[in-house]
Chain A
């Protein structure tokens, strides 16, 4: 109760929620765009995909340090591009923007890769059929590709949100939680390992766990039948039969089935 009635918890909670929502939303849009690009690229496909994934592959702490270095006034190459005298990591709003940038830079590849894998499941003939029926690119994306990818989108958004809500490394290194930028995980860490308030710290851990569980629950409810484990028998077939019969131009049968 001491935690729930404390202003620290709620301000950290608000900051965490803000960072989570904004970064996951940006990551989803960027990730989808990247996935579509990676999906369609023919020349240098391996290279494109590998390059896109590199930020995710860099050790988080090292990446966070290089961001911090880049934004430090005087020595940082990015700070030098800003007007002289500005120190973005000492201001709350600017720090949060930078934390979100670092977070988005780091984990968009995760989102992009999962969405790319989801894209691989959208049948090409369905898209061609829609094109023949006069659906534009935007309609094809929102009416066919996204609904077909729903399970993949659920997994990508769910796991990213769970991770983003527990953001720690990036904030710890970029601002150390100063100027009101601390996340709930920072709060828990400070109480457990810095102040040795074991009771308060444990209560915070439990609260984080409950928040995360709540997020997961909401996601699974929102996506309903697309969640793993729900009954799906025959779903695909009924779905297909509602669509006009796809034209099968020289059917791209996988070699497996020849």
Chain B
């Protein structure tokens, strides 16, 4: 049987249905036809991964120090890192633009990676130190007893146990870098470092007045694919019970 449209003539111009009547891949082809999009995708992936790795590594070390050590100025460090998270980013864009122009970081990968690390570190530090403090002290003492240096104990005992926190942080930081628009828009200008979110914003329609809704939607779908892959591989490290039974209660 041939499915007949149940809408009355004249009405179907107004009534949109939940399911599309025709399927097309044309918009996807169009997205890759835009010369900038492929390079922007590569920039996005590279910048987001480098920023995530660096941010998580620095964040892990800082959080460990905050959770475990006593050092002067600890309260200040914790406070300042939260301050960065509270600062309205929009007010930092123009000074950053000037600074990066002056020192030649404008429109380069490091020019975006540095602000991303700065703004994702507070979340990384807070999440990770919440984790480290839940890991029993005794584990480090045991490791030390077995002759491990503090760095060894940190690297091969504590970090693996904090894996759920580390990978949660990595996912959140990656999504933050991936979805950023403000910095990417103002600190890049050419295909050397322009990211995919900015590339979408620069899409143009068939004519000057046509909104390129189709291309934008297709590009938005393409943009979520790396996130899905990233999350899918990292979430499996978020497992429970890593510390259970490590210390006799």
Residue positions of A touching B, CB distance < 8 A: 39, 45-46, 49-50, 53-54, 56-63, 65-66, 74-77, 80, 110, 113-114, 116-125, 148, 151-152, 154-155, 158-159, 162, 166, 185, 188-189, 205, 208-209, 212-213, 216, 226-229, 232-237, 240-241, 243, 245-246, 248, 251-254, 256-257
The complex places the Cα of A36 from the Cα of B216 at a distance, in Å, of 35
In the complex, are the beta carbons of B179 and A57 less than 8 A apart?
A: yes
**Chain B, residue nearest A153 (CB):** B130
**Chain A, residue nearest B227 (CB):** A57
Task: List chain A residues, Cβ under 8 A from B206.
Answer: none
Contact of B88 among A114, A208, A236 (CB under 8 A): A208
In the complex, are the beta carbons of A39 and B240 less than 8 A apart?
A: yes
For window 173-230 of chain B, which residues contact chain A by CB distance below 8 Å?
175, 178-179, 181, 197, 200-201, 216-217, 220, 223-224, 227-228
The complex places the Cα of A62 from the Cα of B179 at a distance, in Å, of 11
- Chain B interface bracket (under 10, 10 to 19, 20 to 34, 35 or more): 35 or more
In the complex, identify which listed stretch (B15-23, B26-34, B35-43) lies at the interface while the others stay far away: B15-23
In the complex, are the beta carbons of B244 and A50 less than 8 A apart?
A: no
Q: Please name 19 pairs of A and B residues whose Cβ atoms are closer than 8 Å in the assembled complex, sorted by A.
A: A46-B236, A53-B231, A53-B235, A57-B228, A58-B224, A66-B217, A75-B16, A80-B15, A119-B240, A121-B164, A121-B240, A185-B88, A228-B63, A228-B125, A229-B129, A240-B249, A246-B249, A252-B241, A254-B244
The complex places the Cα of A118 from the Cα of B164 at a distance, in Å, of 8
Task: List chain A residues, Cβ under 8 A from B66.
Answer: 228-229
Contact of B220 among A59, A123, A234 (CB under 8 A): A59
The complex places the Cα of A110 from the Cα of B227 at a distance, in Å, of 14
> Min CB distance, B105 to chain A, in Å?
25
Task: List chain A residues, Cβ under 8 A from B99.
Answer: none
The complex places the Cα of A59 from the Cα of B249 at a distance, in Å, of 46
Interface check B109, CB cutoff 8 A = no
Task: List chain A residues, Cβ under 8 A from B179.
Answer: 57, 59-60
Task: List chain B residues, Cβ under 8 A from A76.
Answer: 16
Interface check B67, CB cutoff 8 A = yes
In the complex, are the beta carbons of A213 and B172 less than 8 A apart?
A: no
What would 6 more interface pairs be, CB under 8 Å, given A57-B231, A254-B244? A57-B228, A59-B197, A62-B217, A152-B131, A205-B91, A246-B249
The complex places the Cα of A245 from the Cα of B248 at a distance, in Å, of 9
> Min CB distance, A38 to chain B, in Å?
9
Task: List chain B residues, Cβ under 8 A from A227.
Answer: 78
> Min CB distance, B94 to chain A, in Å?
11
Contact of A56 among B74, B123, B175, B242 (CB under 8 A): B175
Check A61/B168 contact, CB under 8 A, given A114-B127, A119-B240.
Answer: no
Task: List chain A residues, Cβ under 8 A from B217.
Answer: 62, 66
Check A110/B172 contact, CB under 8 A, given A46-B236, A233-B137.
Answer: yes
Interface check B102, CB cutoff 8 A = no
